[in-house]
Amino acid sequence: MQKVQQLDAIPKKPTSTDFFCEIPQTKRGKPPPGQIQNMFYSDENLSKLCAEGAIQNLLNMLHFLPEDMNIFWELATSDLFTLMKSLNESFVPKAVLTPSLGIDSIQKCLWILRKKFKFQTTKKINYKHFQCLKQSLKALLEIKFPMLISVESKFATYHHVVVVWREMVIDYESMYTYPLTEDTLRQICGVNTTFQRISCGYGILPSTICKTFEANQNIQDWGTEEYFKQGSSIRKYFHWR
């Protein structure tokens, strides 16, 4: 199992695919003002564990125990046979396998959250609302529950997957969260890249148990009722057919 790089690692060095954000970098080990330290991150992310790492950090922010986060990481980085056995499943959901019989990391992570952690996940995003920067930003700011999104950018070598929640970006390649703004979304795949569209995305609806954690009692509205309510303003952002 690949170990997650902890925060005692060397801060990320700027490269052509690094994210640039004009947030003052305060003391090493302390997040910039208004942001949160990511417990897990990889500055190079050579294994392309964007989705797995972002959700791992989300679970930490949702105040899951370290053993629960370790379980998620072990499952998320396991081979499919081991994963099926651990989830007590006899087959892999069709969505988890790509047409070339590869593994869709987003679908794999959502499968684990549903089966092991009793989360719910939304329908896939309605892509017509996520084809330009301003429209995508508007939608993400309106949605109150965490969103797992894959971003396609010009000049980027691969799509980058992050979690967006409560007006911040949870990025496995960053030591800290950073604010969700037009500028950060534009360059989310790197300083020399430009946002094109959100190519894939799903909402993550935390479990009832998660919502009852004492540390989560300050969250008054998780956005779940709005998602399921007919005629609500955010339902248009998801593909219901």
Q: State the number of CA atoms in the 13 A half-sphere of 154 facing the CB.
A: 6
| pLDDT per residue rounded down to tens, the chain (241 residues) | 333 333 333 233 333 333 333 333 432 446 778 889 999 999 888 889 999 999 999 999 999 999 999 999 999 999 999 999 999 999 999 999 988 889 999 999 999 999 999 999 999 999 999 999 999 999 999 999 999 999 999 998 889 999 999 999 999 999 999 999 999 999 999 888 999 999 999 999 999 999 999 999 999 999 999 999 999 999 999 998 7
pLDDT of 97 reads: 94
In a domain, 216, yes or no: yes
Split into its structural domains, the chain has a count of 1
In a domain, 122, yes or no: yes
In a domain, 17, yes or no: no
pLDDT of 30 reads: 64
Of 127, 117, 131, 170, which is closest to residue 147 (Cα–Cα)? 170
In a domain, 38, yes or no: no
Q: State the number of CA atoms in the 13 A half-sphere of 186 facing the CB.
A: 8
In a domain, 154, yes or no: yes
pLDDT of 12 reads: 34
What does pTM read for this prediction? 0.86
The pairing of strands 178-179 and 120-124 is unpaired
**E runs forming strands in the chain:** 120-124, 147-154, 160-165, 168-170, 178-179, 194-205
Write the DSSP assignment of 159-186 as a string of letters.
-EEEEEETTEEE-TTSSB-EE--HHHHH
Of 164, 166, 144, which is closest to residue 54 (Cα–Cα)? 164
In a domain, 85, yes or no: yes
- Between CA 204 and CA 107 the distance in angstroms is 12
In a domain, 21, yes or no: no
In a domain, 146, yes or no: yes
State the residue range of the domain holding 149.
50-237
Q: Show Cβ contacts of residue 209 under 8 Å, excluding neighbours closer than 6 positions.
A: 118
